[in-house]
Amino acid sequence: MTWYKSPLKPLFTYGILATIAVVMLFPLLWLLSTALKSSTENILQSPPQLIPVQPTLQNFIQVWQALPFGQYLFNSILVAFLTVGLNLLFCSLAAYPLARMSFTGRNFIFLAIVSTIMIPFQIVMIPLYILVGQLGLRDSYLGMIFPSLASAFGIFLLRQAFLGVPKELEEAARLDGSSELGLWWHIMLPAIRPALITLAIFVFIGAWSDFLWPLIVIQNENLYTLPLGVAKLAGTFSLDWRLVAAGSIISIAPVLILFLFLQRYIVPTDTGSGVKG
C-alpha cells in the first residue's frame, strides 16, 4: 500500500496541523494564564505552568478600576469602525474605475499606487504629522483615522476582485439603465463581498493595534486607544506582568471575537452563478 493511499496519512496530517496550532497558540495561552494567576504564584517559573493554581479575575478588575479602560475601549471601537468604513468606501471607489473603466494612463496610475506599498510608514510619518497639524486634526479621532482613509493594498485587493466580476452582469445592469454609481453600489460591491470582508478584517486589525501614530498625534489621555492604555498600564503598576497581561487580553479579545464571527464569510463566491450561458 502506497503512502498517499494509507489510512494513516490523515492522522499524520492532522497531527502536524495540531502541533503547528499549539505552537502558534502558546503565547496567547501563556498570556491568558498570566492574567488569571494570583499574586502568590510565580509567573516566571521554568518550565511555565499554563494552568493557574488559584485562578482569579482580580487582575482584570484592578486594571479596569485603575485606568479608564472603558473610555479606551470606546475610543478604539470608534476609531477602528470609522477607519474600516471609510477605507472600504474610498478604496472601492478608487479600485472600480481602475478595474472596469478604460481611460488614458489607467495602468500607470495603478502602478504608481501599488508602488507606494514599498514606502515605509516612518518615511511619510513626519509629512503626515505636519499635514494633520495644518488641518487642525491633532488630538482628534479624525487625526488618528486620517492616514488610513485609503491604502494601496486595499485598492489593489479590490481592483483584482472587481476584475473577476463577469462582464455579463455589468452589461445587464447597463441595459436596465443603471448609472455608474448604481452599478458600483448594486452590482459590483455585492459581487465582491468576500474581498470587502477580507479587507475589513485587515484594516480593523491594523487600526485596532496601531500604537505609533496615535502616540504621536494624541496628547489628550481621554482620546487614548487601548494600545496606548496598555502602555500606560505598564508604567502605572511598575511593570506588573499580571496586570499588563490582563490589559492585553482586554485589548485583543474584540479582534478574536470579530474574526470568529467573520471567518465564515472569507470564502470565494461564484459571482458568475447568475449568468446563464
pLDDT digits (tens, 9 = 90+) for 145-197: 999 999 999 999 999 999 999 999 888 888 888 888 999 999 999 999 989 99
Dist CA 73 CA 255 (whole Å): 12
Kindly state the average pLDDT of the residues 60-87: 92
Residue 271's pLDDT band (cuts 50, 70, 90): very low
Dist CA 67 CA 243 (whole Å): 11
**Residue where the block lists cell 483584482:** 160
Dist CA 198 CA 193 (whole Å): 9
Dist CA 249 CA 260 (whole Å): 16
Half-sphere exposure of 252 (CA within 13 A, CB side): 11
* Lowest-pLDDT range of 22-31, 153-162, 252-261: 252-261
CB 50 within 8 A of CB 31: no
Please report, rounded to a whole number, the percentage of residues in the chain having pLDDT higher than 90.
Answer: 53
The pTM of the full predicted model, rounded to 2 decimals, is 0.84
Dist CA 249 CA 161 (whole Å): 35
Instruction: State the pLDDT at residue 204.
Output: 93
DSSP state of 162: H
Kindly state the average pLDDT of the residues 227-237: 79
Instruction: State the pLDDT at residue 88.
Output: 96
Q: Which of 222, 224, 225, 246 is nearest to 234 (CA)?
A: 246
Instruction: State the pLDDT at residue 5.
Output: 60
Instruction: State the pLDDT at residue 238.
Output: 58
Scanning 101-192, the segments in alpha helix (DSSP H) are 106-115, 121-134, 141-145, 152-163, 167-175, 180-183, 189-191
Helix 152-163 crosses helix 106-115 at what angle (to 10 degrees)? 140
Dist CA 161 CA 176 (whole Å): 23
In the chain the first and final C-alpha atoms are separated, in Å, by 45
Higher pLDDT, 276 or 139: 139
Kindly state the average pLDDT of the residues 259-266: 75
Q: Which of 175, 157, 199, 187 is nearest to 272 (CA)?
A: 187
